Structure 1
């Protein structure tokens, strides 16, 4: 029996889907790990990217440094973290969150920085404070 036939036979066996440790259990585990990593990335990257873009200070350097983390080989990080933090879900979630942060940070920074300067000036001319400018003008336009 070749590999394709073995795979078809495995997938067509209902016990491989419904038993504990089956395909549905692994799918649920995968979704929990992925969603947790993305949630951590969102909590870290979006506020930082929005704040750096709004303030206009040091954002380019931070985005550059965050992009350098993409140069870390995935397999190295997924090997080092379990060896140092122990095996299980938390080191894997942390490793995946490290890889989720750079694109989220760069896109949040870019979205807010792309708001037209004349729009910012008009909002400031209407008397909006920095927080109001961010909340009422920059974030809606960045989205």
Structure 2
């Protein structure tokens, strides 16, 4: 009896895509840590612009959530999540550039390298094939 598509076991994601998903989860975890630090600073600071501080903390929390959701969507093989993930990584490169300009060169270089690495992993041919993005196979 032939197997139906629902019974066919799913092909495991390639290493490049799995690595990208785990790095996105690691970025989300880093943003959670940043959010906790910002919340601590808001609660313990003597003089602070409370509105700006709360907005910055909320923005960091939102960033953590978005990174997690995009990582989960990529892990589920949703091709539509790749574009937003790449945009976020390019934004990370911009943050890295300004950190270099601001005197934190080691951290800026690290962020740029992370962003470029993730872009490369998501654009790698095995990841593209797993997501069903790009040119179809040219096999005859």
Q: TM-score, normalised by structure 2?
A: 0.35
Q: Which has the higher helix share?
A: 1
Structure (1 or 2) with the larger CA radius of gyration = 1
